[in-house]
Amino acid sequence: MENHFDLLILGSGSTAFAAALRAAELGKTAVMTEMRTLGGTCVNRGCLPSKNLIEAARIVWESSHPRYEGLKPAKMKFDFGELISQKQDVVHAYRDKKYQSLVYEEDKIRVFNGQAELIDKHTVLVGGQKVSGDQILIATGTRPTIPQIEGLDHVPYLTSDLLTSDEGQELKELPESLVIIGGGYIALELGQMFHRFGTRVTILERNQVILPNYEPEVSEALTFSLREEGLQIVTGAQVVRVSNKSSKEIEVVANLGGKEQPFKAQKLLVATGREPNTDNAGLDKVGVQLDEHGFVKVNDELQTNISNIWAAGDVIGRQTESQPATPVGAHDGVIVAKNALAGAHQKVDHRVIPRTIFTDPQVAVVGQTDEEAVGSGIRCWCGTIPLELVPRAGATHQTNGIAKMVINRETQEVVGVSLVMPNAGEVIHEAAMALRFRAKLEDYIDMIHVYPTMAEALKIAAISYFKDPAKLSCCAE
């Protein structure tokens, strides 16, 4: 059969490409399907474009809000349209280099465009053609969740797809004001970005805190920083309805403590989470099992209940203790290729997955929270230090933040780390490697850190188990 391959992959994001490339390395043929743009969410409308614009916004903000006495504020001029244009150039260049060119260079990999729907456990219908594979990988990712809110069907709104390139959802003009429904990482990253470009931003979070699944100290520290910067963060806000007040104004009504309060803005951004792209893939026709939220169920080898069908990436949600993230998907895509095509029987290990929220200050975490550790039966000690105890933070006038460690009292093993600080996404990798090798408090303390760096926060947090770090000289243990 002309369109038959060793590995048929639904999707073309990081998970799919990693699997396809490993299949080629194993001497096998692979095919990917894509209903939108080659490369999936991360490169086209997620990680890459958001971090590009977040950094631009930081430069604009810091020029007018210098941290040092003696530096005078400067009003940096910028053209939002040109920023969007350069963002598109970055996305195109990265997509061409890291995705499209690999398909051209590797004759063992092909791509079919269109919505792929399984018609049996070896075959999909895509773009009017039948394509089959001995093994199948579901790597269709996720999309923004659209909540059931009265009036939302009749009001224009944005989602995180506003960052996309070459699609109608792309936002090309800077709004004067913006209401964001949701208080998760997407809402916070984009909210601060737009605020720094000059948009009046209001964030409505239904829970009593932002980032409710993180350590409470993380939520408190980041809320303080964002509010101090000027963002309006309203927690305990249950949105009940939205409406168009005029062609240039949207009204969002939220229930706050039993009373309704209106919030008005030029634009509305819905950032209430993500849901799996499993509803139009024909999974029900072949009996692939999903969980109650629509994510694909897999075992610890990423195999579904159908022996030749596998799943990996964001589409499996929290299965196997996974975390929705681009590098997790890429890592697991390789495992699927080895298991499906070479019988490797490799099990996934999601015990150590570092994560970062690219606000300023950044949030970075790895391992278990205090609550998770206690829930797993660990008798733990938790130590939190304010960032003002870190010399680098004081030297650069960036003392808003915290570092927290969760330690197993019985073994002294560090089982979780949470950071709120500049460059937390870089620092967290030291903690991740330490967790990987089950490092203990003394390992962090005995490690000689460069002075002054933000990474010293890890050492200082470890020292706080034994003594008050506020009473130590620089670098003392």
Q: Which residues of 399-418 are buried (b: 16+ CB within 10 A; e: fewer)?
A: ebbbbbbbbbeeeebbbbbb
Q: Supply the DSSP string of 268-330, one letter for each residue.
A: EEE-S-EEES-TTS-HHHHT--B-TTSPBP--TTSB-SSTTEEE-GGGGTTGGG----HHHHH
pLDDT at residue 56 is higher than 60 = yes
- Report the distance separating Cα 434 and Cα 60, nearest Å: 36
pLDDT of residue 59 exceeding 80, the answer is: yes
Q: Which residue has the higher pLDDT, 113 or 167?
A: 113
**What does the pLDDT read at residue 2?**
77
CATH numbers and ranges of domains, the chain: 4-143+275-342 (3.50.50.60), 152-272 (3.50.50.60), 355-467 (3.30.390.30)
Helix (H) or strand (E) holding 119: strand 117-120
Please tell me the predicted confidence (pLDDT) of residue 473.
83
| pLDDT number for residue 241 | 97
* pLDDT for res 99: 79
pLDDT value at 94 more than 70: yes
Residue 100: pLDDT band (50, 70, 90) is: confident
pLDDT at position 201: 98
Q: Is the pLDDT of residue 228 over 90?
A: yes
- CB count, 10 Å around CB of 19? 32
Using the predicted structure, report yes or no on whether residue 323 has a pLDDT greater than 90. no
Please give the model's pTM, rounded to 2 decimal places: 0.95
pLDDT (0 to 100) of residue 333: 97
- Give pLDDT, residue 105: 63
Task: Pick the closest to residue 124 from 280, 5, 13, 281 (CA basis).
Answer: 281
Q: In this model, does residue 1 exceed pLDDT 60?
A: no
129 class by beta-carbon count within 10 Å (0-12 exposed, 13-18 middle, 19+ buried): exposed
Q: Residues in the chain, how many?
A: 477
Q: For the ranges 30-44, 280-294, 385-399, 416-430, which has the lowest average pLDDT?
A: 30-44
Q: Is the pLDDT of residue 250 over 60?
A: yes
Among residues 171, 172, 190, the alpha carbon closest in space to that of 271 is found at: 190
**CB atoms < 10 A from the CB of 327, how many?**
15
pLDDT of residue 70: 97
Q: What is the mean pLDDT of residues 342-354?
A: 96
The β-bridge partners of 402 are 386, 420
Given pLDDT bands bounded at 50, 70 and 90, which one contains residue 96? confident
Residue 104 pLDDT grade (very low, low, confident, very high; cuts 50, 70, 90):
low
Is residue 257 predicted with pLDDT exceeding 60?
yes
- Angstrom distances, CA of residue 425 to CA of 227, 284, 402, 419: 22, 39, 14, 9
Q: How confident is the model at residue 165 (pLDDT cuts 50, 70, 90)?
A: confident
Give the pLDDT confidence score for residue 106 in this predicted structure.
Answer: 63
Average pLDDT over residues 203-224: 97
Residue 187: predicted pLDDT? 97
What is the average pLDDT value for the chain, to the nearest integer?
94
- The SS3 assignment for 340 reads helix
Lowest mean pLDDT among 32-41, 169-178, 311-320, 347-356: 32-41
**H/E stretch holding 382:** strand 380-386
Q: Can you state the angle between helices 47-64 and 185-197, rounded to 10 degrees?
A: 40
At 122 the pLDDT is 97
Mean pLDDT over 352-356 rounds to: 96
Q: Tell me the C-alpha distance between 299 and 311, whole Å.
A: 10
- What is the reported pLDDT for 107? 74
Per-residue pLDDT at 38:
81
What integer pLDDT is reported at residue 428 of this predicted model?
98
- What pLDDT sits at residue 167? 77
Tokens 């093993």 locate to 413
